[in-house]
Structure 1
Amino acid sequence: MHRSRPVVGLPLALVVAVGAMSGWGSGTATAAPEAGGTLYVNHGVACSDTGTGTQSLPFCTVQAAADVVEPGDTVRILGSSLSAYSQAVTLTRSGTSDEPITFSGAPLPTSRSQAVLATPASAPALTLKGVHDVRVESLAFSDEHHSDVVAVTGSDHVTLDRLNVANSAPTVPVTGTAIGVDGTSSDVTVSRTSIYAGTAYGVRVESGAARVTVTTNAILSQQQGGIAVSGAADTDVTSNTVFTPCAAGISLDGGSSGVVENNVAITLNSRQSKACPAPTAPLYAVSADSASRVTADYNVAASGGSASTPARTEYSWAGTSYATSAAFRGGTGQGTHDLDGITAPPGTPSEHSPLIDSADATAPGELTTDQEGHPRVDDLLVADTGNGTSRPDRGALERQDTLTVSADDDPTPPKGLAPLGISMKTDATSAWGAPLAYSVDFGDGSDPATGTPGMPVAHTYATPGRYTTRITVTEPDGTSAQKSYAGVAAGTATPPTTALSVAPDTASGQVDAGSAQFTVAAPADPWEVAYRTLDYGDGTRENLLSDVQEPARPSHQYAAPGTYTATLTQTDLFGRTTTARTTFHAADAFVAMTPQWDTEKTIAAHGVLKLSAATLRADSNGTDAVQLQLVTSNAKASGALTLYPHGTTRPATGDTTFEPGRTTTAETTVKVTPTGAVDLYNGSSGAVTVNVATVGLQTHAQYADTYHPVTPARLLDTRTGTGGTRSPVAGNHSLTLTVGGTHGVPANADAVVLDVTATTTKASGDLTVATHSTNDSVVNGPYWTTGQTATAQVVIPVYDGKVVLHNDSKASANLVADLAGWYGTTANGSEFLPVTPARILNTRTGTGTGKVARLAAHATLKLKVTGAHGVPATGVTAADLNLTVPSASGSGYLVAFPDGTSRPGVYSLSFTKGHTTTARTLVKAGTDGEIALYNAGTTSVDVYADLLGDYDVFPAR
């Protein structure tokens, strides 16, 4: 009877080069002992050496377990090579013949890691001292010091099984021993262990030891010897593979006795060096005082590089060297079945190798499994030349049968709508020609179907789902191999639904108003989805991850403000598509800037001044518009300044007006080009000097503030005491005004929008507005002449809820401050959309009103600001306007306020008889999308309104 090793798709091959022995010592994990007889060691988790070593609270060190272990207990050492136990462990406690003590580094079923003990410089990693009935298995050792690793001293009935001793090959002479058995020990077995280059000796048995078995081990490149036995009685060295380019592979001396059988010693021609002190040592050496007590047979002297007879001496027996196995047999009568003159890798024998089925199954110490735990089997392709019935191969590794399951053995068809009928078969083969049968588990809970290779089986999936089918191929003796296919899909009658939603990207109360955070819901039948594509509506798209078990949350930064329709297209396994759409309004949020008056230029009559992005500080991420303050002086003639994006057509609008002999100030908003540049046009017949400062940016790609418009409210009036002061402010004096925490402005607002006015002025001058806690942010309010009432709207950062108004005049003036809105956290705020400047009101032409008529004294007109010029029809909360009263026939002021609300007593623009005045007005819109303009003067006036942008509900609906 033979057994085979299952392999799916590929034949078994283990090729190991010098210095690498991949696969040696992997073994098979031992099942965990019954609970209650196990002590756990795991320094990779919460642990304690003062506890009882439970799995939930294991020991931290192996020594702690060794100090308390009792007969019948198993010490389970958990860990990996990434976290070795660097300690010298000494065991002095013993088991009994019925209840041995076991130390195991075999992984738990849920883990593939194996515990590693690192050898310290001072002592072996593990010493068994004066103990009996002890088993150490499935432990790995790291020997960085090339010193002794495992030492058995004064002990008996000890088994060391499936150990792994690893380290890089030394470059200088070393003295350590991987596994040592001293002369006071007996009944010791070293089995199925891998020992890599790193020590002087692999396994060393010292004089006086008795009944030691060294079997089925794989040993690589030791400096002084692979297996060295000196003066030990009844020592059996069986079925080991020793790769020994530098030293004797197996040696017995000092009057040792025992059996040497079924071993494979492999050599390469090597030159002498510090690391290779004896490259001409024999592969097998038995001294004269041991020769009469040792039986040797079924051994192999092989070359690892060519098929020629090895150049080294194969045997040294009783002081005589023998170059070949034939010479050895003739000279000693030993080695009747020995082999040489062959090539053998230090791993699994290749098919048809002379090593296969040629060993002595009755050799003392011969195991029923090989070094990796595979059974010793009869290869049907090789004639049996060994002794016994189990037909083992020579050496530590056994050639196994290869079961090949074709990669083409897939369900047909692999998908379709339920009920789905499929067929499946296999053309599996045995490399040794064994008869096969197979069964198919269809993965839906039905009974498996059976067949023979080449014969298909059929099945119908009645319920929609994705199923894993599994083919199991079996030989008559029960050996099997499996192949799984996870692609059978029985689809639903309708494709999975899709759902798509979007929200702006917010953080810490601010918004990146052009960044969309999408949510793609997981479908009810996620297994049915093949792929999904999200088109962002701006010419870009993204293929979403195929894992649809959880909602997907892609994000997208839009390159410009606008309204975008994103489309999710979902395709299922059967080619059916479903879509979902959502709309995102990419817009701007506000970044308040500290004004820097660094652009003072004189512009010739009808000249254009180009302002670069760097000059405007508009070269930061996603800037779409800038809020500027303009101060004009030294005008040679009356006129107006117009701002517009560089390279575009100049609009018929005005941002500020000026005239000779006067200094004027105004804030305004201007859209910028993708490069950030702006053109400033002087519409006058004479030159004018202009000073420009940036007070804020509107950006779609930075975390910034939203705007909160309010119904205009008076915060300060020194004529009435509103705001806490009831007297004019003296020349060159200041007044501190609290704006945070009042009239709906939160204490933590980042900036406020104020209409500031000077009235009952006693001399010419101007008003500045500054932050209270710092002098960095200062903006200019209105300039005036003696007796003039002047108003300007300003945006000013707020750090402690207060601002400072300074009367920069030689004489007193009453000061008025009216609140228009504030910038801050996103809750209930508004986002900005810049537009191409457009004149939406002109009472001289009827634009905006439908009739040519001045705005009469104490009269109100309504102006629609929504639904045209790029402004949405709904959701608008405020309009950004420049208001102009040209050539006023009398003095007075305008009040701008939301239509449908009571008119507030505030100043929006103050005008003077005979002069043209322009002022920015950021005004809240009524629920009907209209604003109201009231003429508080005593004479009728013409009014222009130029639209610069709009604020919309955040997030936009």
Structure 2
Amino acid sequence: MHRSRPALGLSLAVIVAAGVMSGWGTGRAAAEPVSGGTLYVDRGTPSCSDSGTGTESRPFCTVQAAADVVEPGDTVRILGDSLSPYSEAVTLTRSGTSDQPITFSGAPLSPSRSTAVLAAPASAPALTLKGVHDVRVESLTFSDEHHSDVVAVTGSDHVTLDRLTVDNSAPTVPVIGTAIGVDGTSSDVTVSRNTLNPSTAYGVRVAPGAARVTVTTNMIFMQQQGGIAVSGAADTDVTSNTVFAPCATGISLDGGSSGVVENNVAITLGSMQTRACQAPTAPLYAVSADSTSQVTADYNVAANDAPASAPARTEYSWAGTSYATSAAFRDGTGQGTHDIDGIHAYPSTPSEHSPLIDSADATAPGELSTDSQTRPRVDDLLVDNTGNGTGHPDRGALERQDTLTIASGDVPTPPKGLAPLGISMKTDATSSWGAALAYSADFGDGSDPATGTPGTAVSHTYTTPGLYTTRITFTEPDGTSAEKSYAGVAAGTATPPAAALSVAPDTANGQVSAGFARFTVPAPADPWEVEYRTLSFGDGTQDNLAADAQEPTQPTHQYAAPGTYTATLTQTDLLGRTTTATTVFHAADAFVAVTPQYDTEKTIAAHGVLKLSAATLRADSNGVDAVQLQLVTSNAKANGALTLYTHGTTRPGTAAIAFEPGRTATAETTVKVTPTGSVDLYNGSSGAVTVNVATVGLQSHAQYADTYHPVAPARLLDTRTGTGGTRGPVGGGHSVTLPVGGTHGVPAGAHAVVLDVTATTTKASGDLTVATHSTNDSIVSGPYWTTGQTATTQVVIPVYDGKVVLHNESKASANLVADLVGWYGTATGGSEFLPAAPARILDTRTGTGTGKVARLAAHAALKLRVTGAHGVPATGVTAADLNLTVPAPSGNGYLVAYPDGTSRPGVYSLSFTKGHTAAGRALVKAGTDGEIDLYNAGSAPVDVYADLLGDYDVFPATS
């Protein structure tokens, strides 16, 4: 039923210009609107309201709401689609005027919208025009699920129903509904260009008493009891309809009706006649005896294509007499002088050379200048004009159109180059009817179109750089046209557009996913000139960016591991020239606080290895690259140390914790891990030792988490002096609640803190635990000590209400000290983490890290560079994650670790006792020169080891 598409060579788009309708039927229907407002109905819009005024921004939700307030000259735009039909029985009782009719339209506002659908309820028509005049309803689709009445015109005049569609599957049982009904008190009604699919008993039905009804140019399919049924209606014109009626009468007039029946095509197809048909032998045309004297019938087509096995079927019934052929009808009645039968005519555009072409009566009442698809009535130059009058319409509702073929070579050549760019374009096109053609070439740069006769190439020069669309339109004298457009003539600039690229880590709610990059690719100065862009992320992967460079784009990328990556944007323009831009992204880790749990307790044999899976350490979640562990050793059979390292790598000569018989030791440490891998814990002792392992934190590059904020060490608690609010030793079994949030630069919203906790002047052996204040779920072990020993351990502990609790697990008193090292929290101003393979960067016994073999003297300090080696960047480092060891000291004391270039704080970083090796973690803020200082506060020189576990860098890192 669609117009044949013009043959345009390769991938050509053709636009056929529709003709302009000359009027409606006999001119008795309502005129086009002169002026007025627009009311909108759109139930799919959340802002719709039936209590509003029907604006586009706040439309009505129901059609009835608009019908209740519409004024003369107004147009009601009904928007929607088949997925959200308007299931309501709408009744219009408001009228327009002759010069300001009311219009209801379901036409979409844009090509992306579909025609609105009204669903007919079972109890009443979907639309009733009741007692109105000067009303037009157009471009609406009706869903007739109940096979009931769909559109009813009652007591109304000067009404036009145009381009309506009734859709539903054909009924399988007898039904009684009517698609479009005009009652006996209505007059001057035009029913035009509608498509009525199988749904009801009647397509169009006009009741006794109606007057001046025009039924024209409709497509009507397989109604059960009649396509167009007129009864007792005066001056009714039935013109140029195509009625597919395999079972029922196609067009009938009875009850004393008067009017004209012309240019119609009634079609039957025997294979479609089934037992569901009400009257499979019904004639295609029927006029009763009480109407024949007032009805003129001519130029109609009876396409009776029934197989021999089908029931007998006549073409005409006139005054009760049946006529099997049009010849018999003409001879018997004097009517149908120009009727045609004996042909195949399916409900589609007539095939070329069909007798339907150019054979209708152009002067028939109600004849329109366009067909049911609003295409113009045109003169087919391949067919003799056998109809009457001018305009040469085809019979039925569909008009055969000319086919215009535009040659595939009608494209701009060359399609691209530097401005000024001269192009030429062929103008080869033909008409299947041999019509004379003219062309108009619009070059898209604001210049006047070039016009002429096809066959001669046209030239043009683009003087200004830009991307242009050329259009060439071919038109024949009757207005039929075909158009081809070429979007992409590029007159390039002298230099290609520059590329630009920047990147930032992904942040949300104060946290960072430190390995997730958000790139920004701004729009270039001449975005039209960019053909495509590729972003290589520097890790072996890349993305092709959207071709549209008009707006900035923000591609993202998740890096698989921490590291420094150079991303490259390669931009190619329409002329094949490339430009590039680079940026550096530092993929790193952020800290995920976890509730400490002792994940495993095992005894490791002398020189044995305990393998710990990532799942055991809770490191099998997104992007975890390192875990922070607490190790507690007991039941040691000999002196020694544990070495912690990634499984599958060479065991380093580093120490995570030192132990000896008869003593329990504790220390926190960091180790690299992969979500599918494991870590090894090696016992370097000649005797077995039991170890308890707890995970106290994770470092992930793929989770939103916290950055680290190192500080110059500061004392928060010292019960010897009353610092922190408690003075005097803390008794065995007693606790101290220590505020940490909101003091010494730690914000109240910090998620975790790093503390060096110390027990001194101890009266009995024991240990210390550190817990969150508001919950007992987060508890870590502090130092273990023997009577009289000073012991220090660094701990990481979550903070929920800004406070932590230190509990003396000993049976006797001890003074407690807590020194702030840093905190984890908001990304702003923080540092991201880069794990490292364990490496010894200081050993005073060998000169590693200092350049000379010498113990660290009592009350002396050494400088240790922590940047520029072992994978640590040379700049931007804010802190080093170290394990410090003092082997077999010759006296008591402690180390103070602090940033170089700052005043030495009075804090404990690692306490040691004469003859007992001490080891422990130290997160140490780095000086601006990349160095840290280690001060020996003891009374004797000591050897010192420092093992690097990772580094913290400025967030966001800069190149």
Pick the TM interval, shorter chain: over 0.9
**Normalising by the residue count of structure 2, what TM-score does the alignment of the two structures yield?**
0.93
Rounded to whole Å, the distance in 2 between the matches of 1:945 and 1:483 is: 77
2:456 equivalent to 1:455 = yes
2:882 equivalent to 1:886 = no
Letter in 2 for 1:793: Q
**Match for residue 15 of structure 1?**
none
Letter in 1 for 2:834: L
Is the contact made by 1:623 and 1:676 (CA closer than 8 Å) also made in structure 2?
no
TM-superposed deviation, 1:270:
4.9
Is the contact made by 1:512 and 1:704 (CA closer than 8 Å) also made in structure 2?
yes
TM-superposed deviation, 1:291:
3.4
* Residue correspondence of structure 1 range 614-625 to structure 2 within 5 A: 614-625=615-626
Q: 1:578 to 1:335 in 2, by over 3 A?
A: same
User: Secondary structure of 2:616's match?
Assistant: helix
User: Secondary structure of 1:593's match?
Assistant: strand
Rounded to whole Å, the distance in 1 between the matches of 2:631 and 2:51 is: 78
Rounded to whole Å, the distance in 1 between the matches of 2:70 and 2:619 is: 75
Q: Which moved more, 1:581-590 or 1:444-453?
A: 444-453
**Match for residue 14 of structure 2?**
none
Q: 1:274 to 1:814 in 2, by over 3 A?
A: farther
TM-superposed deviation, 1:137:
4.0
User: Secondary structure of 1:696's match?
Assistant: strand
**Match for residue 9 of structure 1?**
8
TM-superposed deviation, 1:282:
1.4
**Match for residue 40 of structure 1?**
39
* Residue correspondence of structure 1 range 250-649 to structure 2 within 5 A: 250-270=251-271, 275-303=276-304, 312-649=313-650
Rounded to whole Å, the distance in 1 between the matches of 2:537 and 2:99 is: 70
Letter in 2 for 1:744: G
User: Secondary structure of 2:250's match?
Assistant: strand
TM-superposed deviation, 1:136:
4.0
User: Secondary structure of 1:614's match?
Assistant: coil
Give CA deviations for 1:552-611 in whole Å, capped at 9, x if unaligned.
111111111111111111111111111111111111111122221231111111111111
User: Secondary structure of 1:484's match?
Assistant: strand
Rounded to whole Å, the distance in 2 between the matches of 1:258 and 1:192 is: 19
**Match for residue 168 of structure 2?**
167
Is the contact made by 2:599 and 2:617 (CA closer than 8 Å) also made in structure 1?
no
TM-superposed deviation, 1:100:
6.2
Q: 1:903 to 1:157 in 2, by over 3 A?
A: closer
TM-superposed deviation, 1:131:
4.5
Is the contact made by 2:749 and 2:802 (CA closer than 8 Å) also made in structure 1?
yes
Rounded to whole Å, the distance in 1 between the matches of 2:206 and 2:876 is: 91
Is the contact made by 2:619 and 2:627 (CA closer than 8 Å) also made in structure 1?
yes
**Match for residue 78 of structure 1?**
78
Letter in 2 for 1:523: P
Rounded to whole Å, the distance in 2 between the matches of 1:933 and 1:326 is: 120
TM-superposed deviation, 1:329:
3.0
Give CA deviations for 1:349-390 in whole Å, capped at 9, x if unaligned.
121111001122233332333223333222100112222233
Rounded to whole Å, the distance in 1 between the matches of 2:672 and 2:204 is: 84
TM-superposed deviation, 1:180:
2.0
User: Secondary structure of 1:328's match?
Assistant: helix
**Match for residue 714 of structure 1?**
715
**Match for residue 814 of structure 1?**
815
User: Secondary structure of 1:598's match?
Assistant: strand
User: Secondary structure of 1:642's match?
Assistant: strand
Rounded to whole Å, the distance in 1 between the matches of 2:625 and 2:746 is: 26
**Match for residue 15 of structure 2?**
none
Rounded to whole Å, the distance in 1 between the matches of 2:852 and 2:300 is: 117
Unmatched segments (≥5 aa) in structure 2? 11-17, 25-29
Q: Which moved more, 1:494-503 or 1:374-383?
A: 374-383
Is the contact made by 1:764 and 1:786 (CA closer than 8 Å) also made in structure 2?
yes
Give CA deviations for 1:49-80 in whole Å, capped at 9, x if unaligned.
6777677776665556656666x634434323
Taking only the aligned residue pairs, the percentage that are identical comes to: 80
TM-superposed deviation, 1:26:
13
Letter in 1 for 2:555: P
Rounded to whole Å, the distance in 2 between the matches of 1:27 and 1:629 is: 91
Give CA deviations for 1:899-936 in whole Å, capped at 9, x if unaligned.
11111111111111111111111111111111111111
Q: 1:458 to 1:279 in 2, by over 3 A?
A: same
Give CA deviations for 1:193-247 in whole Å, capped at 9, x if unaligned.
2222211111112233333332222111111000112233333322110011221
Q: 1:847 to 1:155 in 2, by over 3 A?
A: closer
Rounded to whole Å, the distance in 2 between the matches of 1:309 and 1:454 is: 54
**Match for residue 672 of structure 1?**
673
Q: How many residues align?
A: 939
Rounded to whole Å, the distance in 2 between the matches of 1:608 and 1:62 is: 79
Rounded to whole Å, the distance in 2 between the matches of 1:240 and 1:210 is: 19
* Residue correspondence of structure 1 range 93-242 to structure 2 within 5 A: 98-99=98-99, 101-105=101-105, 107=107, 113-242=114-243
Rounded to whole Å, the distance in 2 between the matches of 1:772 and 1:927 is: 35
Letter in 1 for 2:205: R
User: Secondary structure of 2:171's match?
Assistant: coil
Is the contact made by 1:65 and 1:75 (CA closer than 8 Å) also made in structure 2?
no
Is the contact made by 2:34 and 2:99 (CA closer than 8 Å) also made in structure 1?
no
User: Secondary structure of 1:342's match?
Assistant: coil
Q: 1:881 to 1:563 in 2, by over 3 A?
A: same
Is the contact made by 1:882 and 1:948 (CA closer than 8 Å) also made in structure 2?
yes
Q: Which moved more, 1:137-146 or 1:394-403?
A: 137-146
Letter in 1 for 2:740: V
**Match for residue 16 of structure 1?**
none
Is the contact made by 2:285 and 2:317 (CA closer than 8 Å) also made in structure 1?
yes
Letter in 2 for 1:151: A
Q: Which moved more, 1:578-587 or 1:161-170?
A: 161-170
Is the contact made by 2:409 and 2:426 (CA closer than 8 Å) also made in structure 1?
no
TM-superposed deviation, 1:955:
0.9
Is the contact made by 1:216 and 1:370 (CA closer than 8 Å) also made in structure 2?
yes
Is the contact made by 1:564 and 1:584 (CA closer than 8 Å) also made in structure 2?
yes
Is the contact made by 2:599 and 2:695 (CA closer than 8 Å) also made in structure 1?
no
Is the contact made by 2:271 and 2:307 (CA closer than 8 Å) also made in structure 1?
no
User: Secondary structure of 1:596's match?
Assistant: strand
Q: 1:306 to 1:548 in 2, by over 3 A?
A: farther
Letter in 2 for 1:221: M
Rounded to whole Å, the distance in 2 between the matches of 1:92 and 1:866 is: 86
Rounded to whole Å, the distance in 1 between the matches of 2:32 and 2:638 is: 100
Is the contact made by 1:6 and 1:481 (CA closer than 8 Å) also made in structure 2?
no
Letter in 2 for 1:105: S
Rounded to whole Å, the distance in 2 between the matches of 1:729 and 1:68 is: 84
TM-superposed deviation, 1:757:
0.8
Q: 1:26 to 1:162 in 2, by over 3 A?
A: farther
Is the contact made by 1:299 and 1:394 (CA closer than 8 Å) also made in structure 2?
yes
Q: 1:629 to 1:84 in 2, by over 3 A?
A: closer
Q: 1:658 to 1:160 in 2, by over 3 A?
A: closer
**Normalising by the residue count of structure 1, what TM-score does the alignment of the two structures yield?**
0.93
**Match for residue 18 of structure 1?**
none
Q: Which moved more, 1:430-439 or 1:485-494?
A: 430-439
User: Secondary structure of 1:326's match?
Assistant: helix
Is the contact made by 2:34 and 2:73 (CA closer than 8 Å) also made in structure 1?
no
Q: 1:812 to 1:27 in 2, by over 3 A?
A: farther
TM-superposed deviation, 1:707:
0.7
Letter in 1 for 2:39: Y
Aligned CA-pair RMSD: 2.8
Give CA deviations for 1:819-848 in whole Å, capped at 9, x if unaligned.
111111111111111111111111111111
User: Secondary structure of 2:313's match?
Assistant: coil
Letter in 2 for 1:42: V
Rounded to whole Å, the distance in 2 between the matches of 1:619 and 1:55 is: 53
* Residue correspondence of structure 1 range 736-885 to structure 2 within 5 A: 736-885=737-886
TM-superposed deviation, 1:307:
12
